[in-house]
């Protein structure tokens, strides 16, 4: 599978501990989190009922809690805190010229 890095938002928009929403041209919706200078990019849809994860809050530093039904996910692994087979999709990132680039499969 081929991958490409897609340009998204300026990294300066992120505040430590606050989720930021971004929709790609493909329609995929992402949430970004910056925690202790580590950047996380995830699918914005909660695996439970698809609600937006960027509205969630952080508990135990790197654990994101969905605001709708309180499911929790470790942002370091993407895995939920209660079942290893329930997880959020994470994306690799890199920052260039102040912008976040997200690694995505090439759409054909
Ligand atoms: S939609 Fe996230 S916990 Fe229910």
Pocket test for ligand 1, best of 29, 31, 43, 46 (most atoms within 8 A of CB): 46
The CATH number that applies at residue 96 is 2.102.10.10
pLDDT digits (tens, 9 = 90+) for 30-86: 999 999 999 999 999 999 999 999 999 999 889 999 999 999 999 999 999 999 999
Number of domains in the chain: 1
Angle at 38 between CA 37 and CA 43, to 5 degrees: 135
- Residue 105 DSSP class: E
Write down the pLDDT at residue 107. Answer: 76
**Residue span of the structural domain in which 48 resides:** 3-105
Q: What is the largest CA-CA distance in the chain?
A: 40
Distance, in Å, from the CA atom of 7 to the CA atom of 94, rounded to the nearest integer, reads 10
User: Which is more confidently placed, 108 or 18?
Assistant: 18
Pocket test for ligand 1, best of 48, 56, 80, 83 (most atoms within 8 A of CB): 48
Contact between 74 and 46 (Cβ < 8 Å):
no
Write down the pLDDT at residue 34. Answer: 96
Write down the pLDDT at residue 61. Answer: 85
| Tokens 């994470």 -> residue | 90
Q: Average pLDDT in the 8-29 region?
A: 96
């Amino acid at each position: 599978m081929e991958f490409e890095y897609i340009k998204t938002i300026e990294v300066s928009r992120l505040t430590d501990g606050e989720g930021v929403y971004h929709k790609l041209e493909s329609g995929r919706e992402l949430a970004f989190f910056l925690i202790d200078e580590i950047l996380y990019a995830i699918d914005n849809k909660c695996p439970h009922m698809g609600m937006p994860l960027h509205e969630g809050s952080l508990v135990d530093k790197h654990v994101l809690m969905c605001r709708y039904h309180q499911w929790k996910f470790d942002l370091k692994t993407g895995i939920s805190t209660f079942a290893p087979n329930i997880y959020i999709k994470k994306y690799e990132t890199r920052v260039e010229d102040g912008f976040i680039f997200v690694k995505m499969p090439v759409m054909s």
